[in-house]
A = this chain, B = another copy of it.
Amino acid sequence: MKTGFKIVICGGGSTYTPGIVKNLLDEKELRIRELWLYDIDGERQDKVARIVKEVVRTFAPELSVFVSTDAKEALTGANFIMAQMRVGKLEMRVKDEQIALRHGCIGQETCGVGGMAYGLRTIAPMIELIDLCAKYADSKHWIVNYSNPAAIVAKATTLLRPEARILNICDMPVEIEARMAEILNVKLEDLEVDYFGLNHYGWFTKVRALGEDVTEKLKEHVAQYGYISKASYEDALVKDPDWLHTFKNSSVIMKMFPDYLPNTYWQYYLLGDDIVEYSDINNTRGMQVIGGREKRVMEAARRLEMGESIDLQQFFVGVHGKFIVEVVKALAYDTRSRQLVIVPNNGAIENLPDDAMVEIPAYLTSRGPEPVRVGKIPRFYKGLIEQQDACEGLIVEGAIEQSYQKILEAFTMNRTVPSANVAKKILDEMIEANKGYWPELK
């Protein structure tokens, strides 16, 4: 038997790939035998692969890296498949954002109309990937999926492929925990949280630092500065008005709803008017990424091709990659690491539907996650989650049944959409824009 794992990054052409690879290499305990990049866009992947190979050359020269657009080749015998698809690329994200903004709504790519559009693009390819893995990968493989919109994808895969060896995760909570750690001046690994919700739609109910309950202390801070230390806050005042805006919104939410610490994404569902006003249809988040990280990565690839040297450091992804690798390690070595994951509810949150895909703590074993039981949640949170869960369920059912009505119901249900009239207009334009990506609706 060959020792070590074959790891495949599916969506190898992502600009995040070099950073994720760096995190994989950092984790020395994770014995990697082969590292594969797999993407359906070979041209793009080849560019990113240059940087990836440079990362490997620098940090783990002994490791073999393979690049492929052939699913069979890439997936055969794979132990871990890290799924980071972006169906339709950033170009489609921008289209979604602009359609939404034209109608006064947030294009936000996870729980808003952008997310619903994106979900409709992603369900079929994700099911295809699951089936390919079932066919070619090691029988004990795990797909670690962090493709967005995670909630919708997770709901669809659970419904359509309940036996799939897929673990759906999202790094957003751990990103926020990193900021909590900064605020508290402790190490991230010394923090532990209780959390419940749907993906990008949850709350931290408790935060402990080295076992001590620091929730109230943290709430007070967040109410004042958002998820940022006082020093950084003052720094941001000058340097990064965008981030500052998000932090200020966290502070607004914390003050209005002081029960729990919110995920930063709540600004989209609770302060949507503010977000719309703050948005620029000619400089959406998608466009910013295209003009920023996207451009930097392609430029670096070009320079590497020309034989020039580049600064690898700029592509490292910190907490995001670290978290994903931690999850892979847990599945690989049964570490029982306690992480937030996205799983079918099945009673874990007692007063939510069984088929809600909830984000809650789980102990990660080599057989998959053992989620903890959370119990009942208060009325306000239940109400918010029921609304969004209905929305996501309608998207999934609508995609499967190719039902225009159910997708319209989902758009109408969504917190970021003010009325059925607006829902219909956005939907109809998105159907046009997403031709070839969406299932045909009847």
Binding site for B on A (CB under 8 A): 211, 252-253, 256-259, 270-274, 334, 336, 338, 346-351, 353-354, 361, 363, 366, 370-376, 379-380, 382-384, 386-387, 389-391, 393-394, 397, 405-406, 408-409, 412-413, 418-422, 424
* Partner among B270, B372, B405 whose Cβ is within 8 Å of the Cβ of A412: B270
- Residues of chain B with a CB closer than 8 A to A408's CB: 256-257
* Partner among B354, B363, B394 whose Cβ is within 8 Å of the Cβ of A372: B363
A383 to B374, CA, bound (A): 22
Q: Are B366 and A211 in contact (CB under 8 A)?
A: yes
Chain A to chain B contacts (Cβ below 8 Å), 7 pairs = A257-B412, A271-B420, A372-B372, A380-B409, A383-B394, A383-B413, A386-B390
* Partner among B258, B334, B361, B397 whose Cβ is within 8 Å of the Cβ of A379: B397
Q: Are B386 and A382 in contact (CB under 8 A)?
A: yes
A261 to B274, CA, bound (A): 35
- Residues of chain B with a CB closer than 8 A to A351's CB: 353
- Residues of chain B with a CB closer than 8 A to A346's CB: 350, 373, 375-376
CB distance from A277 to the nearest CB of B (A): 10
A349 to B363, CA, bound (A): 18
- Residues of chain B with a CB closer than 8 A to A384's CB: 387, 390, 413
The 7 closest A-B pairs by CB, nearest first: A383-B390, A347-B350, A386-B386, A347-B347, A348-B373, A380-B409, A270-B420
A370 to B374, CA, bound (A): 9
* Partner among B363, B370, B372, B418 whose Cβ is within 8 Å of the Cβ of A273: B418
In this complex, what residue of B is CB-closest to A424? B256
CB distance from A389 to the nearest CB of B (A): 7
Task: With A256-B424, A272-B419, A336-B338 as known contacts, state yes or no: A391 contacts B383, CB within 8 Å.
Answer: yes
A211 to B336, CA, bound (A): 12
- Residues of chain B with a CB closer than 8 A to A361's CB: 370
* Partner among B354, B375, B386 whose Cβ is within 8 Å of the Cβ of A387: B386
Q: Are A390 and B394 in contact (CB under 8 A)?
A: no
In this complex, what residue of B is CB-closest to A390? B383
Q: Are B274 and A419 in contact (CB under 8 A)?
A: yes
CB distance from A347 to the nearest CB of B (A): 3
A376 to B376, CA, bound (A): 18
A76 to B386, CA, bound (A): 46
- Residues of chain B with a CB closer than 8 A to A418's CB: 272-273, 418
- Residues of chain B with a CB closer than 8 A to A349's CB: 347
In this complex, what residue of B is CB-closest to A258? B405
A348 to B391, CA, bound (A): 24
